[in-house]
Amino acid sequence: MDDGRGAYAGEPAVRRKGGAGLGIAALLLGLLALAVSWIPVLGVAGIVLGLIAIIVGLVARGRSKRINGSGRGSGVAGAILGLLAVIIGGLITFGIASLVQNTDAGQCLQDAGTDQAKIEQCLQEYGDEARDRLDEATTNN
């Protein structure tokens, strides 16, 4: 059984390598996820990358703890950055979605339903914004 000590009594303990590659991968994924999560259109990609960074970071931490290897710190840092990316990406994505859905033009068109006269009134009142919303609604259905 190998207890981590050297072959001779005076030899220092040998630190096994393991988990460092996963820890570095988690750290890089966490940094990338955090950078991408601030971009409104790519917020969902930041969330996905953040979740992957959390998983890889926790695996790196567990592996390095189990075999007394390196990579624990970078794994934890990657998991924390991934968590921040998930939170920031979620808030930004949710915020943008709620802003888009709760515009006056959107509400006007929603209230108009299928009544063509009311739709025309919305188009006159809100102009391009209402046209864009109407185009989105017709292409999504």
First to last CA, the chain: 66
Grouped pLDDT means (10 residues each) for the chain, 141 residues:
53 58 91 90 89 93 77 88 93 76 69 78 71 64 52
Indicate the average pLDDT of the chain.
Answer: 78
Contact 71, 62 (CB under 8 A): no
Entry pTM: 0.60
Distances (CA, A) of 76 to 31, 42, 51: 12, 24, 13
Residue 2 in 3-state DSSP? coil
Query: Coil, strand or helix: which one is 22?
Result: helix
What was the pLDDT predicted at 119?
Answer: 76
pLDDT at 1: 45
Per-residue confidence (pLDDT) for residue 11, from 0 to 100: 58
Residue from 53, 56, 114, 59 nearest 89 by CA:
53
